[in-house]
Structure 1
Amino acid sequence: MAETRGTGRRERLRAETTAEIKSTALALMGSGGPDAITLRAIGREMGMTANAIYGYFATRDDLVTALITDVYTALADAVDAAWAAAPKTDPAAGIQAWAHAFRDWALANPEGFRLVYGDPVPGYRAPEGGAAPDAARRVCVGIAALAAASPRSVQPPTGEAAFTWDDFDPGLLAKVRPAFPDLPPAGVALALRLWGHLHGLVALEIYGHLRAQTLAPDKLFQAELAHLVRSLDLPRA
């Protein structure tokens, strides 16, 4: 029994230290940019040696991969929950819920947003297949549902580029196509374009580029979102 309690305590302390290493890394990135993530700097902030950090992460790249996985998973969970809670009979409400969840998460986690969508960590080499590919693709699946509800996904306007399945990542299609078997390639392209519109304003806000331009970035985001919803000709509840 004593051994079990001791093992449980060691596991708890290890989990707490691992979480502190990750939070310290994100804080360093927030104050000094992505190149500030070094095991030596993290150890200095935590009062540990760099060698002690190696007991938790074998390399700096392993730490960065773990951070990216955590961040992408948290974002995917947030937008999935918003999408799941929206009325299924009202696609317009769905896209608004998804978009607001995306922005709210980014504003609450600016360092995480910068890690996965900003400048790459210098020298970082992702594992084969990329860091957190499953969670990254999950972010796109919810908005694909919105594209599937729009007539524009089946009949894009004349003059738009024609898309084929070969234009998209097989991993993304492996998630999107089973969920939306009637969605054509143009619908996947529409989903990515919708994401790009919403992501662009959020990125400008996170990086501070809107501060000198507007005192109401939330109103700007809502106006763009309303415009997108109207442009999709979504059915009304």
Structure 2
Amino acid sequence: MTDAGPTSRERYRAQVRAEIKQHAWEQIAAAGVPALSLNAIAKQLGMSGPALYRYFASRDELITALIRDAYRSIADTVRAAYDDGADLAGLAHVIRDWARGDPQRYFLIYGTPVPGYHAPDDTTAISFEVMSVLIEACGALGEGGSATPFDAHLDDHRAWAGGHPAPPAVLHRALSFWTRLHGVLSLELAGHFAGMLFDPDPLIDEEIAGLTPDGRG
């Protein structure tokens, strides 16, 4: 027996949900997440508020869908790049390209938390997929360097890495990579380099070069 695929009603529902999410991204780009309004989206789509709530029961449910899509996008992008042979430096540029391609999407998951909103566990699980790839890439560099007190701390605190069994030194390098990359990315995407009259590309290259098997910056 073959799979009949989605029904016309299911396809229509998926299409409307996609349109709602697109309008939500446009609202976020214009005024930020706090200004997100389901009623405003309903008016743009020519439907009533109650009709829209059949597709997303609440504002938080819509935000969750956007966050889930964003994490899924970066997780798939990073995994595909790594499977295609990208090393740690290559992954840094892949993440930067992804972030620059849609800054609002980047800031939704890596920027200031949405007030009063708590993401469900499944979104955290997808974020662990990204970190897992980075830990693999860091592990490919070897452990390197001498052990630090923070290494010992990370050996007992692995929740941020989804409990990955990598050696503490590898976890340390992955965490350093993550924090340093996002630090410079957040400044760049927020426009803080614009008036400083220098190209941030070499800065990012230097940040990544500091995360070598001989040390962690």
**Bucket of the pairwise TM-score, normalised by the shorter protein:** 0.7 to 0.9
Work out which of the residue numbers 112, 124, 128 in structure 1 matches 2:105.
112
Structure 2 CA distance for partners of 1:148 and 1:22, relative to 1, 3 Å: same
Using structure 2 for the length normalisation, give the TM-score. Answer: 0.86
Structure 2 CA distance for partners of 1:160 and 1:10, relative to 1, 3 Å: closer
Q: Which moved more, 1:45-54 or 1:133-142?
A: 45-54
Which residue is 2:114 aligned to? 121
Which residue is 1:39 aligned to? 38
Which residue is 2:47 aligned to? 48
Distance in 1 separating the partners of 2:146 and 2:162: 21
Letter in 2 for 1:97: G
Which residue is 1:57 aligned to? 56
Q: Is the 8 Å Cα contact of residues 154 and 171 (structure 2) preserved in structure 1?
A: no
Work out which of the residue numbers 153, 160, 172 in structure 2 matches 1:163.
153
RMSD of aligned residue pairs (Cα, Å): 2.5
Per chain length, whose mean CA-contact separation is higher, i.e. which structure has more relative contact order (CA < 8 Å, sep 6+)?
1
Structure 2 CA distance for partners of 1:170 and 1:210, relative to 1, 3 Å: closer
Q: Is the 8 Å Cα contact of residues 98 and 142 (structure 1) preserved in structure 2?
A: no
User: Is 1:150 aligned with 2:141?
Assistant: yes
Q: Is the 8 Å Cα contact of residues 154 and 172 (structure 2) preserved in structure 1?
A: no
Distance in 2 separating the partners of 1:172 and 1:205: 28
Letter in 2 for 1:29: I
Letter in 1 for 2:169: A
Q: Is the 8 Å Cα contact of residues 132 and 161 (structure 2) preserved in structure 1?
A: no
Structure 2 CA distance for partners of 1:166 and 1:160, relative to 1, 3 Å: closer
Structure 1 residues 133-187: Cα deviation after superposition (integer angstroms, max 9, x where no partner): 2210011111112321334x365355655324331217711xx32xxxxx32232
Letter in 1 for 2:20: I
Which residue is 1:134 aligned to? 125
Cα deviation for residue 68 of structure 1 reads 0.7
Q: State the identity %.
A: 37
Q: Is the 8 Å Cα contact of residues 154 and 184 (structure 1) preserved in structure 2?
A: no
Cα deviation for residue 115 of structure 1 reads 0.6
In structure 2, stretches of 5+ residues that fail to align are: none
In structure 1, stretches of 5+ residues that fail to align are: 87-92, 178-182
Which residue is 2:205 aligned to? 222
Using structure 1 for the length normalisation, give the TM-score. Answer: 0.79
